[in-house]
Homo-oligomer: A and B are copies of this chain.
Amino acid sequence: MERISGMMRAVREKVPLVHQITNYVTVNDCANATICAGGSPVMTDEIGDAPMMTGFASALVLNIGTANARVVDAMIACGRAANDAGVTVVLDPVGVGATEFRTSAVKLILEKVEVSVIKGNAGEISIMAGEAGKVRGVDSAGGSGAMAAKTLAERTCTVVGMTGPVDYVSDGKRTYSLSNGHELMGRISGTGCMLSAVVGCYAGTKGASVDSVAAAISAFCIAGELAGEKAQGPGTFKPLFFDALYNMEGGVADDRRRYELCTVSM
């Protein structure tokens, strides 16, 4: 796989503008994660304002965490503006499957917008991969996780990033497991949302690919490791995490990275 260091340098040189329609719980963390990863965040969801902003951006991140009907409309308008302008679209389907509203919102977005990357947790990606993922998952070196990621990537023609104790990334052809991270990442609110912002930085700079999404996930999780080694708990973890992401050296990231190619057969 392409090295993290080169990608990281490209992101920091470009300073990609990442337009994010995200939830109001973690939006500040998303803005700071974007800056620390080398990008520049802009948040707006007014339908009369946001699509114009999308046109200036390198990536658009749609996160349905606290979406309401008004915001879903804005997401679709911005998604179409992104498609018109060749802007990479990242979808974070927070809580899909938990409620009908969320499931419908995700369906509608995928129907109306050409999404390049879907980044979700194991539960969300498995639900979106659906029965197909389960039924076909008869043999997978990466286990059911690799199968779900691969299945959803194939079906949606996207790059899928799936997070959990082990992360998976797949474009339907190549599927990797990624094994960096720290348990405190799961003890703060917003880890998944921040990762989507960072994926926006990388995919917005280098295009959406297994390589760019994997580099974003690995860099993010390595920052988590570096912070986790110093933190006394979830509270001190977050500022240390931002520092680690901001100060990360490409060589350190390349050295610490752990991944494996998965063989997923049907």
By a beta-carbon cutoff of 8 Å, the part of chain A in contact with chain B is: 23-29, 31-32, 35-36, 41-46, 48-49, 52-53, 56, 65-70, 95, 98-102, 187-190, 231-236, 238-244, 246-247
Tell me the number of copies of this protein. Answer: 3
Instruction: Tell me whether A246 and B187 are in contact in the complex, defined as CB-CB below 8 angstroms, given that A25-B31, A25-B43 are known contacts.
Output: yes
For A235, the closest partner residue in chain B by CB is: B242
Query: What's the minimum C-beta distance from A240 to chain B, rounded to whole angstroms?
Result: 6
Q: Please state if A102 and B49 are interface contacts (CB–CB under 8 Å).
A: yes
Instruction: Tell me whether A67 and B46 are in contact in the complex, defined as CB-CB below 8 angstroms, given that A35-B187, A243-B236, A246-B233 are known contacts.
Output: yes
Instruction: Tell me whether A26 and B28 are in contact in the complex, defined as CB-CB below 8 angstroms, given that A53-B99, A238-B235 are known contacts.
Output: yes
| CA A45 to CA B23, docked complex, whole Å | 11
| CA A263 to CA B216, docked complex, whole Å | 49
Complex interface: chain B residues within 8 A of A231 (CB): 243
Instruction: Tell me whether A32 and B102 are in contact in the complex, defined as CB-CB below 8 angstroms, given that A236-B240, A242-B234 are known contacts.
Output: no
